[in-house]
């Protein structure tokens, strides 16, 4: 009777042990809609979020994503979430957040109507006769925001990329700076009739990189960034990152 009782107990413990041993620490990352890099509608939640999840999994973390508008994501990233996906390089933001190693590359360009003649330019001040559409909370460049603050450049600032493209297509603004890949994705999916009327200037506003950011207020910020950076390195060393990048260029996101 004793053996009959003890054996099932030992057997049940045996099956429970692997589950306990491999229990991953859960992380919640706040993200925004920025296809094809991060989106609740995209496969794998987009390229950047696929990298974030896979890199953390390499280090024993289980990641889930919650979506918020960009400005709200930055605010709630300080106390409600374990990180924010994702941010371009930003000196001002680096005062409040730790930035990971680069996980994506971006070319911000000036979208405009084909019929609008945007001249070759060296400084943005040379474009002061044009009205810019800008999305609230975005980085762009210090030069651009400085000219906007000084009212040298006339701008219309709202919270939606899609609405900015609609204004551009309607001729209510002249220029909309946007990541090249994301911009054309929005136009193709949301404003296909405007695709043939829009173009980009041959000179980019800037080239930059994308990063996971974690608030310095997070008690484990340094530990998490270190683990994530190591995970990214492992993805790149094993060529998995290259496979993800290939999928990005194929358009699966």
Q: Which residues pair with 177 in a beta bridge?
A: 110
pLDDT tens digit sequence for 71-130: 999 999 999 999 999 999 999 999 999 999 999 999 999 999 999 999 999 999 999 999
Which of 14-23, 34-43, 91-100 shows the lowest per-residue confidence on average (mean pLDDT)?
14-23
Phi then psi for residue 98, to 5 deg, are: -90, 135
3-class DSSP state of 112: strand
Residue 67 to residue 32: CA distance in whole angstroms: 5
Residue 216 to residue 103: CA distance in whole angstroms: 20
pLDDT tens digit sequence for 128-187: 999 999 999 999 999 999 999 999 999 999 999 999 999 999 999 999 999 999 999 999
Average pLDDT, the chain: 92
**At which residue do the structure tokens 């920025």 appear?**
34
Q: Is the pLDDT of residue 48 over 90?
A: yes
Q: Which residues pair with 200 in a beta bridge?
A: 111
Confidence at 251, pLDDT banded by 50, 70, 90:
confident
For 74, the token pair is: 């930055």
């Amino acid at each position: 009777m004793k053996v009959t009782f003890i054996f099932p107990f030992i057997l049940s413990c045996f099956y429970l042990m692997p589950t306990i041993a491999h229990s991953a620490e859960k992380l919640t990352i706040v993200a925004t809609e920025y296809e094809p890099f991060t989106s609740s509608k995209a496969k794998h939640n987009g390229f950047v979020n696929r990298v974030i999840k896979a890199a953390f999994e390499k280090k024993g973390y289980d990641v889930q994503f919650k979506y918020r508008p960009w400005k709200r994501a930055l605010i709630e990233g300080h106390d409600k979430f374990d990180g924010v996906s994702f941010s371009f390089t930003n000196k001002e933001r680096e005062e409040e957040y730790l930035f990971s190693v680069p996980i994506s590359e971006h070319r911000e360009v000036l979208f405009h109507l084909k019929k609008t003649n945007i001249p070759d330019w060296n400084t943005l001040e040379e474009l002061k006769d044009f009205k810019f559409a800008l999305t609230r909370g975005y980085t762009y460049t210090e030069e651009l925001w400085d000219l906007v603050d000084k009212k040298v450049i006339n701008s219309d600032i709202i919270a939606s990329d899609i609405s900015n493209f609609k204004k551009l297509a309607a001729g209510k603004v002249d220029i909309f700076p946007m990541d090249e890949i994301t911009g054309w994705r929005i136009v193709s999916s949301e404003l296909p009739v405007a695709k043939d009327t829009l173009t980009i200037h041959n000179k980019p506003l800037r080239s930059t990189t994308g990063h996971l950011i974690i608030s310095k207020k997070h008690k484990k910020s340094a530990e998490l960034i270190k683990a994530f950076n190591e995970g990214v390195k492992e993805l790149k060393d094993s060529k998995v990152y290259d496979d993800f990048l290939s999928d990005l260029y194929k358009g699966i996101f």
